[in-house]
Structure 1
């Protein structure tokens, strides 16, 4: 009888817990109730400037800044700033349209789509959908343990909230052969860009678990540093609390008692806090009160600076927009810009050759001249300290913005790997030519 009572209590507790979890998930995106996303046609530079100005003055969330005559801006507005935003567009004669009528509903549907997809995939690999921090961490640990001859796991430090930040070094010569260039790749510096980490994990898979004969040169002739999750705190926060969170999760009460985090991709010490940023600590483009204020960006800095003599290429992966971008964010061009554009264009062409019809063609160029001016970016920092080829890669969105359906992930991984392989070989040829002189 006592056992039966215990079981009854357990069943009631289990049911109550399930109801609570279900209720929490159902209301996860309520923060976006009444929010809409609007497409903005950019037919002149003044239209692009208007979007930038309104981003700061109205505290807008610009999902995609767009490029004049090439792609539209996408802007999320709250019920409070929607009317003023649309009035400003109308006053300036800017054409616009409704991209998403209900942001909360759109992300609820996306969550359901991910859940259905994962339920149909048996023996799913970590890079085939959107893994959580613990799953990513376990994969890195497993790969390092299973392939100790070529893989070294580096526990680089901890995030603001205490999560271990790890990356892999992949080399057939334990990084001791200085004739080999180093390729550095990282992802998820912006927490809401979920599709970026699978690309980094898939690259590990192709170099280690599934090395194909045509790619053997990539493993034997190049050393790799792959850092799949730069911003783990922000990433977990997007899964549990605020899906569109972009920043880190640091807290400096002397700066703000209410706002958390900074835009990690504005936190590097290169033209820091000069353009493309906001002084508002609550803004998504707030660069922080100091350069390298975040442990996450300090780790990226250490990777780049500790290996700068041999790093030939640095690929900072983002989503979305089909861009291969290079520095500087001010619009100034590096002295080897012709070589940088050559390698970037080859990457775009390699990916375009297998792109899906729903994706646009990759566009290649200076980030400020094609899109908008920025300061303090990882891309610029890599170029600034002497890495010959430093890029921001913006993956496809397929018209679904940050809600890329999980069934597209396999294709994005394979497509992007082609581009990565192309850049690795081309950059190595430049490295060999430089060292031969």
Structure 2
């Protein structure tokens, strides 16, 4: 009994100190009045490599910045000089992370043996086991593909779901991926729930989605970063690649700045410790090369690439340098329809979805996955940012089921619209 007590004491001690690196960090909300205020905040965050918890919009959505004790006084002074109203949103990030970890653990324990992976924050091994299980149980519909390995050697797998084993060229391909940014835990359950609804729980109203569309679903693009966000640093965003010629202290690359489209031109940092460090070259990361290769292999039929992120209730299309694709009207129509479908089911605590060009309504960036998809010829290449309910990246697990349900409705609407556009071009 004494030994067991000591083990629990040791685990509690480890857990209590796990988030100490964020002790004293705070999150501050900032009220934006104009687009020039928004531009000022974007410039400030890029110059100081600040962690953005929420991108603001003038008079509709406050910006939120996480500040270290070293940066706090200077940043708040800059905000005051600019005449920007600000307030304390989170007093101590470490305490919030500890509370979130406790909440997630309690959620798992209270539903022990009854939780499906798509209603939980499953670890890499659980996601892998679910993909293997679905492929084994439904071989007539599902093909499991091992696309390669992450930097740390984890298999990156995806499912191909098709009634015709991808042989019917009259059917468009819908490709969705998630967990490109490691701390965005709520993204993977959406992809797993999509698999569930297409395969395990196919309903009559959705039969057309399975029969008329081929699906590629990649639930975990960045497994190394995801595991690290569980074991070490909850707010970890990047991959976990090591390049000693660049840095002996910092590892990883922002995977969503590592694609070969306007690479390393805007919305990035040359600091290898930055969360928006784009790497030494496009596709320097094995994880981004896998996404690239999936797109290339299926480009002749790929109608939608949905790059799923969290958080903020956005449906965004390219390009991140303010230029617009030739089919921008169709992109906006499809994005708006998707957003409206999700808004129709939203919880009161959620923001309304905002739709538009990523640079115009969010921020400038380069080397993003969605921009790359659009650039190489995917007609509808979108970034979907899921709800945060005011909790940033730390979405309480009790919201997962609703996010899955409302997002699936948006996915279904986007799939049907894209299918109609695809047929019109045949």
TM-score in terms of structure 2 length:
0.98
SS of the residue aligned with 1:368? helix
> What is the CA–CA distance in structure 2 between the aligned matches of 1:258 and 1:308, rounded to whole Å?
39
Measured after TM superposition, the shift of residue 133 of structure 1 is 0.5
The structure 2 residue matched to 1:193, chosen from 169, 184, 192, is: 184
Aligned residue among 320, 331, 342 for 1:351: 342
> Shift of residue 96 of structure 1?
0.9
Deviation at 1:14, TM superposition (A): 4.4
Match of 1:115 in 2: 105
SS in 2 for 1:274: coil
- For 2:5 and 2:388, locate their aligned partners in 1 and report how far apart those are by CA, in whole Å: 38
Which of 80, 85, 110 is residue 95 of structure 1 equivalent to?
A: 85
In the other structure, the counterpart of 1:247 is 238
CA distance in 2, matches of 1:333, 1:170: 32
1:7 alignment counterpart: none
Partner residue of 1:8? Answer: none
C-alpha separation in 2, matches of 1:329 and 1:68:
19
Question: Would the aligned equivalents of 2:258 and 2:368 in 1 still touch at CA under 8 Å?
Answer: yes
**In 1, are the aligned partners of 2:131 and 2:159 still within 8 Å (CA)?**
yes
> 2 CA distance for matches of 1:252 and 1:64?
30
Equivalent residue number for residue 161 of structure 1: 152
Distance 2:417 2:136 in 1: 31
**Structure 2 Cα separation of the partners of residues 178 and 355 of structure 1:** 36
For 1:107-146, what aligned pairs fall within 5 Å after superposition? Answer: 107-121=97-111, 122-146=113-137
Measured after TM superposition, the shift of residue 26 of structure 1 is 1.4
* 1:258 equivalent in structure 2: 249
Q: Which ranges of structure 1 fall in alignment gaps of 5 or more residues? A: 1-10
Which stretches in structure 2 are left out of the alignment for 5+ residues? none
Structure 1, residues 285-320: CA drift from partner, whole Å, max 9, x if none? 110111100000000000111111100001000111
Asked if 1:147 is matched to 2:112, the reply is no
Q: Distance in 2 between matches of 1:269 and 1:345?
A: 27
Where does residue 45 of structure 2 map in the other structure?
Answer: 55
What is the distance in 2 between the residues matched to 1:198 and 1:39?
A: 28
Counterpart in the other structure of 1:273: 264
Q: CA deviation at 1:135?
A: 0.5
Indicate the larger mover: 271-280 or 114-123: 114-123
Query: Which stretch of structure 1 is more off in the superposition, 64-73 or 210-219?
Result: 64-73
> Alignment RMSD, CA only?
1.0
Q: Which has the larger radius of gyration?
A: 1
Q: Could you tell me how far 1:12 is from its partner in structure 2?
A: 5.5
Q: Which residue number corresponds to residue 181 of structure 1? A: 172
Q: 1:23: how far off?
A: 1.2
Separation in 2, partners of 1:39, 1:431: 43
